[in-house]
Structure 1
């Protein structure tokens, strides 16, 4: 059993990006500029955004953080998005999710200029990805692909089961794994909360991607021997033994499942770190105008 080290791979990706930015700067090119909109006081969102801003500093990007409290209206958020859409110095930006309940998430995402949608959430980018056209791939699926690639995990002809059908992870992951490329060329099953006999399907998986947001949902009896298990889940669970008062849990019951696997990602230290690295990569592509010419 091999533990897929997201910390190691994300550090490699960041170093490669840093070198590219230094070359770009030396040649008089534009320094990539990423902006983030953070609305409300969600603790996990604070952590995620801080990690993204810190990564910008490490790599040599410019960054801008726009904070608004939870009383901010939908109209105000849309105004900020329009300003960023029109700002030529901003190469890409993200709206950190979740948003307060009174703000329509779909409306916000659709307001983002697709050329600056480095999170890859806009319907145009998802549609282009589905057709195999150049697009910003959603950061988490992109990170998963990079882990598979860098560990030289075979995917062609394998049965990939994706658990969870969110537009951010599950749906794009299922599309990417069946494409005629590497990683890809899998036979893909997409299962979810309404799937009957779910565990019978997960036990068929050569590659199992867990992305449903339920802590330790995937247990050993749901995984076949030798499977590759990618745990996308990340949930804060109350843990009074921790100084922080909580522990981070994935969708996979790691200690129970890991002995059966050929490869497995841990939580933390797996996919989450790669999500940030992928976002940085998309921002560099945007600064270079490599997706939308």
Structure 2
């Protein structure tokens, strides 16, 4: 019997369980891989917003990563909240030493409630240090604009151009998520191996969207560990997240932006 894949999340903690490493671990399990987590930051947050952040020292982030890689086979890594340039650099240095096969970078900048989760100087470090190490990056439209230092994409053509430009900065592939488009649908575009692939998606009328970006990037990391195919990984991950959002009404968690139902297929 083939060994179960091991996938590592390097991200911040969300005590409400909807985003961050808590969402990542749920998504890993639901997608059939063994999940591990390195914590970059502790947050005090719930479905209505973030009220506090305590950062982990960069050298201790390094110690956590080294502890995993010196003992455990890591088949893929997902990077979420890095918070500062120092943490971003520490992660990059560790990954250059350990050289995991797959790295999915979710450039987390703003929490669902609007709270900023990334320092200004960390954007430069993310672009120069982490992006070139990534098998795939998964920005939404505003995040893609920040990474490029350009206006936000307003249509499909501009989304595809942004994905192509980001990939040219050194990552293996770029998935630009279209949830911020002023449209009735929510298309995403993947630029990989010199071509664009579109993934269509409808909009679900719900406020239960807390942690959707974390969940999608984690599901992609899990599927890359299983398939090594970026197009198939995105296709499977998007189907999983769409079903998790559609089933989110079965949960009753908080009075703000509630979480998706990570275990919709199992409970």
Higher relative contact order (CA 8 A, sep 6+): 1
| TM-score, with structure 2 as normaliser | 0.40
| TM-score, with structure 1 as normaliser | 0.37
